[in-house]
Structure 1
C-alpha cells in the first residue's frame, strides 16, 4: 500500500501500525495458477466461457484481470464498462502495490475459507474480495487528492456489494472479508494485516466527534458476524470478538470478548484467530496452558 500507511501511528497508541509489511507474495505464480484453473473451467463449463475468457484468458496479468472484473461488476449508466476498465486498469498499472495487496487477499481467502478451492473463485465470484479490491482503488485515489472519484467508488461498492468502506480508512493485506454483506468501516478506522472479518461487522464512531474516532484492529484478529466495534478502541493482536458483540473498550492482545457490552471471557484459543477461523468461543485461561 502507499507510504503513509507504512509509517502511520494511531493517536492514543504507542504501537506503530502494521499494514502490508508482513511478507511478499509471488504475484506471477498466483496469476499462473488462476490462468490454469480458468482454462479448465473454460473447457468444462460452457455457461462461463465468455466470462472466463473476457476476465482471465484474454488478459496477460492479474492487474488487467482485476481491472476487467471490477469494471464488469461496477458498470452503471453514469460510468460504463468502456469508461471504467481503462480507468481501473491504469490505476492498477501505475501502482503495482495495489495488485500485490489484492494477491495477498486472494491467498488469504484460499488458505482460510474451506468453501474456496482456488484463487480464481474469489476473483470471479466473491463480493467480499471485490469490495476490498475496490476499496484499495478508492483509497489510492483519496491519498492522491482525487477525493470525489474516491467517494464515487465508495458509493458503487455500497450499492453493488452492500459493503461501505470510507476511502480514507487504512486497511492492510491478507484480509478475508467472508460473506461481506453489511460490512461498514468509518473514515479513521485502521485494520492491520492478516485480519478475518465476517458479515455485518461495523467499525464505527460514536456521535459527532471529529479526528481519530474509529477502531484500530491489530493483526491476527477475528471479528465474528454482527460484531459492532464503536469509537477509538483498539482490538489487540490475536484477539477474537464473538458474534453479535458490542465492543466499547479496548481488547487486550490474545483475549476473547463476547456479549453486549463485550467482556473478556478468556484467552484466545489460537495465537492468530484470523488464520484459524474458529468462531466458537473456545478459550484458554493461561497463555502457557
Structure 2
C-alpha cells in the first residue's frame, strides 16, 4: 500500500487516508482537503487546495506539491505548516511514500523522457536524504531492504522492466520483463514485486535475485493497484470484483461476485485498491458498497 500525491481539481480524487489520528478526505472534486474526527465525523480542519497540484500523506505528515515545485509538509493532526521549500531540479514533482518510517520520494521526468529525477525527503522535517537521476521513465512502487523499487516504462506507457536502486551504494539494477505490460500498476511485499497490467497480465518479480517468478493472465480489463499479504495478492476490477492470486505459484484462487450497481455505463476514473487488516480484506466497488471477506479463504468468497 502506498500514499501518493494526487487530487488536482478535475482529476481523479485519491481515497481517504489516516494521518495524525484523523481521516483525511479530498472533497469538492479535488478542491478541498478535510480532516475528520473518526469517532464523530466532524471536520477538525480543512484546507483549500486550489494553490496546489497534489496532496499525499507520509505517516503523520500531509504533503502538498505546488506548481512551482515547492513541497510543503503539514501536521496531520492540526493542519499547521511544519516546513515548506522548493526541491532543486523539480518543477512539479509527483510524491509517493510507503508504509514504515521511510522517506517520501519526489520524482520528475525529463522533458525527453530519458531520465527520472528522484529525491528522498524526510516527511517530518523536509530534509533531503538523497538525490539522484536514473535512466528511463520510472515510477517508485515500494522499498526492499533500504533500496527503492521502481517500474520502468517506454514512451507508450508499457512497463518493460523493474529497477532496484540502493542509495547507500548509488547502484541500480534493472530486471527486463519477458513481455511488456501495458499501463502496469505495482506493489512490493517482502522480497517480491507484483505488477498488474491493463488487460489482466500479472507478473511476480523476485527483488533479491532479480528474476521473474511467475506470470498469470487474469483476463481483467482494468484492475487496481495490487496489495499482498504472505499468501495472496489481491486487486479489484472495474466490474466490482475482488480477486485473489496465490503468491507462490501465481494461480487465481478466488473472486467475489460482480458489483456494478445502477451506473454500470460509467467508467470509474480510479479503482480503489483493497486493504488487508486483521486477517480480512476490505474493498470498494462501483456500486458504492464497501465489503470485507476473510483473507485466508478466497475459495469461499
Sort the TM-score into its range (normalised by shorter chain).
0.3 to 0.5
Q: Larger % of strand: which?
A: 2
Q: Larger % of helix: which?
A: 1
**TM-score relative to the length of structure 2:** 0.36
**TM-score relative to the length of structure 1:** 0.37
Higher relative contact order (CA 8 A, sep 6+): 1
